[in-house]
Structure 1
Amino acid sequence: MATASRSEYSSFRQRWENLVEWDLDMIWIFHRYISESRFCWIFEKLTSNSPLADVSLLTWVAFIVALSEFGFPYLWICSGNLIVAQVLRFMLGCERPFNYDRQLRPTTDRHEFSYGFPSLETHMAVVVFGFICVKCWTWMWWPLVPLFVAFTVFVGMTRVYSYARFVHQVALSWVTGGLGLGLGILAWAQLAAWKFRYQNHIYWLAVVGAAFGVVVGLWIENGDTSRFGLGVPRSEYVRVLSNIVSTPPPPGAVPIDSSASTQPHRRRRPKMDSFHHLQKTLQKRSDEQDQIRQRLRSSLRNMHR
């Protein structure tokens, strides 16, 4: 029994290694083909590690525009898929192409927690534009359906071109996106049958907003905040916040004790907000730079003498 299970495991491992080798070859071939074609500039312009310069931004722009038309059903289907796909990606922790071939340096999704499957950009493109396609088909706007389908395929192709995902990971992300969209539509039909009230939408919207804030905070804590377009590295945030926490009270300030509430005429320590501490930190850094410049000037003068 043990020998049979070991044989099955080795056979599965061999098939997996063959799939990875084939996938790596396909990535090289696809990237070389696009690089030598006339469409290379499109892929170069629309693939970036910055969320504000990547093709996935168009997905969220379309989501915001369509949200005004489709309302809460569209919001819950897309937000539910986003949360489930993110949790699934963390649970699986699938490796990416550069884990097998160090020459494949990804130009997108370079964050350490951006695991291979599901491809969040591909999955959400299927959900966002898939729902729009369903509505276009219902409203008999058939010419728009091939356009949205082509864009969804293009998003997956950019993940392969940028060395960020395997081909099979992109293909499976198209499948998970379709399943997530179908399950979301069925779930919303059940909620509509239960007469989901407007107040419940507000409550759950607050929960989703809080979850989004937690995710952004974790990204800032665990990664580099410059990837959000802020241009400020994580070390700078940590340094400023540490200075805010550890800054001693100003000279001459009277500490507030428990009897302060019973002595209204006693001098109170002025309240210092975070912006005040940030100004002090920046001023201190400016003074240090001025001192360095003065030392350099004095050393240069001594050298000339």
Structure 2
Amino acid sequence: MRRVRFQEDVDDDGESVELLPLLQWDVAAIVWLIQQKEERPWLRTLVHSTTSRRRTQDISLLIWFVFIAMTPEFGLPYFWICIGNLLAVVTLQYLAQSPRPIDLYRPLWQLQDRRCVDEDTRGFPCVDCHMAVVVLLPAILHTQSAVVQLLFVLIVLYIAACKLLLATRFISQVLGSWLMGFTGILIGNHGHVVVKSYKLSRGYNIAAIVALLVLAMLVLGMWIENNESSLMGIPKQDFIEVFTNILNSDAPNPVPTPGAPAHVHQIPAPDARWG
């Protein structure tokens, strides 16, 4: 397999820096996968039509549909294991700050539709790959239908394949995230056994759910304050304008005085950042 070189962004002299052997293999494998995608228009269309930098328009949304459907059947232990893993993997990704293929090998950017790539995420652990295992593996083991099992397995594999074909994850990062997801299930099950031994009342679960909702509202508030609402699948400017209109909806309309110039509200130009 050929050796891949990349240019470090911090290197003003443009010095070529050789990757470590594992990353050499990882980058070369990703380059080969991207070439296969570009040579097959149907595959490129499929991947780009089912992925998006907006969570509400991405194939990974299927994970949370399954989570909602399975929670009534599996109960609160399943709910807390999934939520705990989500909080843990998001925190670990933020702390690790691991680069993605497109961060190390910049020519890969030229082959990607940026509407499909979330620039705010990092490489490892992969939240979607981790949570696909945590959410879907119990459902795969629980159901007796071979068709449903095959469908869930295909969802896990397809989400991982999209990460590779968009050059947003290395193969090693996907495999590591799957392993972390399996480990997260084991830790969650052990934690459930430990907590169950304390025989806590139902009020503790209610208090924990309320605390979780408060945390979600705080995160939403920070997204609004930082103008980062695109993470929810809503364009940033539209999100801010909607909340501004809501806050100003109760304000009295000023009465124009005679001779005062009329105020003309200009329609903002459409956001054409992505064409």
Q: Can you list the C-alpha shifts for 1:98-147, whole angstroms capped at 9, x where unaligned?
A: 221222236445243x11111101111110001212322xxx44553343
1:179 matched to 2:196? The reply is no
Deviations 1:163-205 (A, max 9, x none): 2112211111111111001111221122223223221111001
Q: Paired residue for 2:194? A: 190
1:45-84 paired onto structure 2 within 5 Å: 45-84=49-88
How far the C-alpha of 1:21 sits from its partner, in A, is 2.5
1:230-270 C-alpha deviation (Å, 9 max, x unpaired): 334289569949xx9xxxxxxxxxxxxxxxxxxxxxxxxxx
1:92 aligns with 2:96: yes
* 8 A contact 1:111–1:223 mirrored in 2: no
1:32 to 21, 30, 35: 35
Q: Distance in 1 between matches of 2:209 and 2:252?
A: 33
Counterpart of 2:52 in 1: which secondary structure? Answer: coil
Q: Does the 8 Å CA contact 2:117/2:168 hold for their aligned counterparts?
A: yes
Is residue 166 of structure 1 aligned with residue 170 of structure 2? yes
* Structure with larger RCO (C-alpha < 8 A, sep 6+): 2
Residue 153 of structure 1 and its aligned partner are, at CA, apart by 1.7
Deviation at 1:289, TM superposition (A): 4.0
Q: Say whether residues 1:200 and 2:227 are aligned partners.
A: no
Instruction: Give the whole-Å Cα distance in 2 for the aligned partners of 1:134 and 1:31.
Output: 33
Q: Distance in 2 between matches of 1:279 and 1:45?
A: 44
Larger radius of gyration: 1
Q: Decide whether the 8 Å contact of 1:226 with 1:233 is kept in 2.
A: no
1:115 paired to 2:122? yes
- Relative to the length of structure 2, the TM-score reads 0.75
Inter-CA distance 207–109: structure 2 relative to 1 (3 Å threshold) = farther
21 and 277 in structure 1: CA distance in 2 versus 1, 3 angstrom threshold: farther
| Deviation (angstroms), 1:226 | 3.7
Any unmatched runs of 5+ in structure 1? 1-13, 245-272, 281-285, 291-305
Structure 1 residues 220 and 172: CA distance shift in structure 2, 3 A: farther
For 1:45 and 1:62, how far apart are their aligned partners in 2?
A: 21
Mark the runs of 5 or more structure 2 residues left unpaired by the alignment.
Answer: 1-16, 255-261, 267-275
1:66 offset after TM fit, Å? 1.0
What amino acid does structure 2 have at the position aligned with 1:276?
Answer: D
Asked if the contact 2:90–2:127 (Cα under 8 Å) also holds between the matched residues in 1, the reply is yes
- 1:287 pairs with 255, 263, 274, which one? 263
Amino acid at match of 1:69: E
The CA distance in 2 between the partners of 1:89 and 1:167, in whole Å, is 16
- Contact 2:54-2:234 within 8 A present in 1 as well: no
TM-score with structure 1 setting the length? 0.68
Change beyond 3 A, Cα 1:16–1:102: closer
Greater per-residue helix proportion = 1
